[in-house]
Each structure stands twice: as C-alpha cells, then as structure tokens.
Structure 1
C-alpha cells in the first residue's frame, strides 16, 4: 500500500497527492493516515515542495468533503432517509442512522464539524448531516478547512519526522499499513452485517 502511494506520487507529483486525498474523502480506499506521512517523507527528502504538498493534500480533502456536503444539501433529509431505508442495507446505513447523525450535528454544531476532521470515518461522514441540516456554508467550509489543514499538517510532520528513521521502521511499516486497512474493512463488514440485521427487523416489524 505504501509503495503504491509512493509510486503514484513519483509519477504525478503533488497532483497525485491531491487526487489521493480527494478519493480518500469521497470513497475512502486509502486512509489519509497513509497518504500524508508518505508525502511528508518525500518532502523531507527534498523530492517535493513542502508547501505544495500541504496545499495539495488539504485541497483534495476539502474538495472531497465539499462533494458530500453539497450533495446532501441538494437532496435533503427526507429523500436521503427514504433512499437509506430502500438501499442502505447494501452500504451499512439506514434512515434511522441519517436522523441520528443529523440530531448529533444539530446538538453539537460547529465543534462536531471541526473535531471530526481528526477522526477516521466521521472525518468524511460528518459532511453529510451538515448538508442535510443545511449548515451555513461559510461556517462549514471555514471549520472544515481549519480542521482539515490541522490534520494534514500533523500527518505531514509525522512523515517528516520519520525521514531520518525510515531504515529503523521500514520493516514494520508495510505490515502495519496492511493491518490498519484490514481492521477498517473488518469493522465495515461488521457494521454492514449489523445494519442489514436492523433493516430486516425493521421490515419484519413493519
């Protein structure tokens, strides 16, 4: 996984970082926890400009979240709930999940948008209820940008710090990356099974 990320960056430069972070926030195939440290490592070696790396990673993440926010804002809560109740069992979500997420966002508001940027999963998902409740665009984009840039800078700094220690950690970085991805996939499968079970119970009771 890490080698794939490095190969993409070597072939496409900072634009590849932008694309990887955009993809991670639209449909997370590769966690940003793997993308940005590799980019920071490359910047520490002088292969990329640090500012360009930071801006590309931040821009990709912000644009990915903007896609979810604007789509949810345009569709609206009722239609999203109906869609979730109809086909959500295939994606691990129900109409009840949509309502719960909206309720959490209404309760916590700006802090939820900001702090979720530092959490895997909610980092992207929080954009959907933010769009559903039609959060003020200025508020959403300002706090999304601040949180995203903070997390991007932290991950870059981690990669930069590892530059002088790469030989010490190289032998376990790849297995660790595989383990993280496997854990995320297992968690998603469990969540999908749990959601389909809830969906069946709801259909049976209805």
Structure 2
C-alpha cells in the first residue's frame, strides 16, 4: 500500500495529502499514520511546510468525516430506535444503550468527537452517531478540526523525526492494521454469541 501512496504524495503534493486524508476517513483501510507520516518525511526533505501540511491534512480529515456526519443527519432518533429494535442483535446494540449514547452526546458530544480522533477505526465511525443524534454542525466541525489538527501534528512530527527509518515503519503498519481488524472481528463474533438486549 505504501508505494502507491508515496507516489501519489510525491506527484500531487498538498492536494494529494488532502485527498488521501479525506478518503482515509471515508474508507478507513488507508491509514492516516502512513499519509501524514510520509508528509512528515517530506517536511524533513524540504518538500512540505509543516503548518501547511497539518492544515491540508486537517481539511481533508474534516471533509471525510463530514460525509459520514451528513449520512447520520438523514436519520432521526426514532428511526434509529426502530431499527435497533428490529436488527439490534447484529449491532450488539439495544435501545437502552442508544438512550445512554444520546445523553452522552447531549452533555459531552464535542469531547467525544474530539477524543475519538485519536482512536483507530472509531475516528470515522463516531461521525455517524454525531449526526444522527443531532449534534450541531458548528460543534462537530470545531471538535473534528481540533482533534484532527492535534493528531495530524503528532503524525507529522513523528514522520519528521523518524524519516531515516520510514521504510521500517511502513512494513509494520500493514500487519498492525490487520491485527487490529482481526481482533475487532473476534470481539464482534463473541458479542453476537453472548449479547442479550435489555428491556426498554
């Protein structure tokens, strides 16, 4: 994966970074760690300016997350509860959990979205409930942008610092990502087998 990402960044510059970061948040298999890490290597080589790199990476992250946020906005809470009552087993989700998540978003939604930016896989999925549970556009944009800016800055710094070892880093990203996905599949199957809904 890293070879074509590297080629695209080399030829597309900032535009490629923005595009890849948007796609990373729509199709998570493209890891932001690789994209912004390679951008950090480019900073060390004089190809990118760190401030501009973080800015375009953050804009791309926001664009990708906003797609899923708008998907969530096309539903409403009553639709969600009806769906969960019918298909909750496959989501290992019941109405009681939906109600608790709703209360969390009402009170701490911006912090949930902000913190989620640092958690693989969750960073994309959190955008759907944020939209579905009625989080305002302004709060979502601010929380997502702030979290993405911090995360992207850390990745750029890591890439810049470790530029001499980027080949070694790249060879571990794939196996680690597959390991995380495999673990999530096992957890999901376990929950499907043993999960029981609460009465609502």
Report TM bin, short chain.
Answer: 0.7 to 0.9
RMSD: 2.8
3-state SS of paired residue (1:109): helix
Please state how far the C-alpha of 1:149 moved relative to its aligned partner. Answer: 1.0
Task: Decide whether the 8 Å contact of 1:102 with 1:132 is kept in 2.
Answer: no
The residue correspondences of 1:1-206 to structure 2 (distance < 5 A) are 1-83=1-83, 94=93, 98-99=98-99, 101-163=101-163, 166=164, 169-170=165-166, 172-194=168-190, 196-197=192-193
Per the TM alignment, residue 103 of structure 1 is displaced from its structure 2 partner at its CA by 4.1
Separation in structure 2 between the aligned mates of residue 71 and residue 136 of structure 1, nearest angstrom: 14
Report if the CA contact (8 A) 1:81-1:98 is conserved: yes
CA contact (8 A) 1:2 1:38 kept: no
- Write the distance in 2 (CA, Å) between the matches of 1:31 and 1:93: 26
Cα shift readout 1:164-184 (whole Å, capped 9, x = no counterpart): xx1xx3463233112221112
* d(CA) in 2 for partners of 1:19, 1:50: 17
**Count of aligned pairs:** 197
CA contact (8 A) 2:159 2:166 kept: no
**Cα offsets for 1:137-177 (capped at 9, x unmatched):** 222211221111111111111111123xx1xx346323311
Q: Which consecutive unaligned segments of at least 5 residues does structure 1 have?
A: none
Provide the TM-score with structure 2 as the length reference.
0.81
Change (3 A) 1:83 1:45: farther
Cα deviations by residue, 1:23-58 (Å, 9 ceiling, x for unpaired): 111120122122111111112201234333222211
Instruction: Give 1:112 deviation, angstroms.
Output: 1.3
8 Å contact from structure 2 (residues 117, 147) kept in 1: yes
CA distance in 1, matches of 2:3, 2:92: 33
